[in-house]
Amino acid sequence: MKFFVDTADTDEIRDLAETGLVDGVTTNPSLVAKSGRDFVEVVKEICTIVDGPVSAEVTATEAGAMVDEGKKLAQIASNVTIKVPLTWDGLKACKALTQGGTMVNVTLCFSANQALLAAKAGATFISPFIGRLDDIGEDGVQLIRDIRTIYDNYDALSTQILSASIRSDEHVKQVAIAGSDVATVPPDVLRGLSQHPLTDKGLAAFLADWEKTGQTIL
């Protein structure tokens, strides 16, 4: 499974990218607003840090305007992926942009039927928001399972499942088991995947034993 990092903080992205674990980045207007920086400049900088897809979201709600904004954003860098909402106009924009060779991430997906429509419209990625489904008492991870089953039924569907609104390491594990192609995660969740109390305990024991030897490697 690929990892995208869900942030517009370029310092965070740069630090995480040094691990080689970051396959792409997702942004949205809310994340860019938190950065306090110019939207285009932020996207441009992110595209110099990571080689993989960088999602930049349109703000228009009408199909033609979405396409115009998408084309403009796609000029920033070759790895920009245009993010459109899963509305009827968003699906129209998705079809038009993908036919023009632009990667498209259809976002705000909450049902398997929506995911099927996005795939039919040629979406590069579909972004089901599992955390928000959990918030209303539904099983977000089950949606990933359902989409995986549907997509695997049809060879013609090449859309990648990009699990979004991930809140915890358990979410990451479950979407990986469910067969998600990508998980986009906040920086703190990605860092947390490396942590386990037994790892810390074992390392402390190894270091204590090594100190007793009085040796050094360098």
- pLDDT at residue 35, rounded to an integer: 82
- pLDDT at residue 29, rounded to an integer: 80
- pLDDT at residue 155, rounded to an integer: 96
Q: Is residue 218 part of a domain?
A: no
CB within 8 A of 167, min separation 6: which ones? 131, 134, 189
**Cross-strand pairs, 126:** 106, 161
| Catalytic annotation present for 83 | yes
Cα separations (Å) of 146 from 71, 178, 180? 32, 9, 11
What pTM, to 2 d.p., does this model score? 0.94
Cα separations (Å) of 188 from 14, 15, 16, 87, 110? 14, 12, 10, 31, 24
User: Six-digit token pair at 196?
Assistant: 């386990």
Q: Hey, is 53 helix, strand or coil?
A: coil
Give the total number of structural domains in the chain: 1
As a whole number of Å, the CA-based R_g of the chain is 20
Whichever domain contains 51, its CATH number is 3.20.20.70
Give the helix ranges, DSSP H, for the chain: 10-17, 29-35, 39-49, 63-74, 88-99, 112-120, 130-135, 140-153, 169-178, 187-192, 197-213
Q: Is residue 178 part of a domain?
A: yes
Q: Is residue 144 part of a domain?
A: yes
Q: Which domain holds residue 188?
A: 2-213
The span from the CA of 82 to the CA of 64, in Å, is 14
Q: Is residue 133 part of a domain?
A: yes
Per-residue model confidence as pLDDT tens for the chain (218 residues): 999 999 999 999 999 999 999 999 998 888 888 888 899 999 999 999 999 999 999 999 999 999 999 999 999 999 999 999 999 999 999 999 999 999 999 999 999 999 999 999 999 999 999 999 999 999 999 999 999 999 999 999 999 999 999 999 999 999 999 999 999 999 999 999 999 999 999 999 999 999 999 999 99
Neighbours of 67 (CB within 10 A): 23
* Active-site entry in 34, 71, 83, 95: 83
What is the CA angle 96-100-101, rounded to 5? 120
- pLDDT at residue 33, rounded to an integer: 81
- pLDDT at residue 32, rounded to an integer: 83
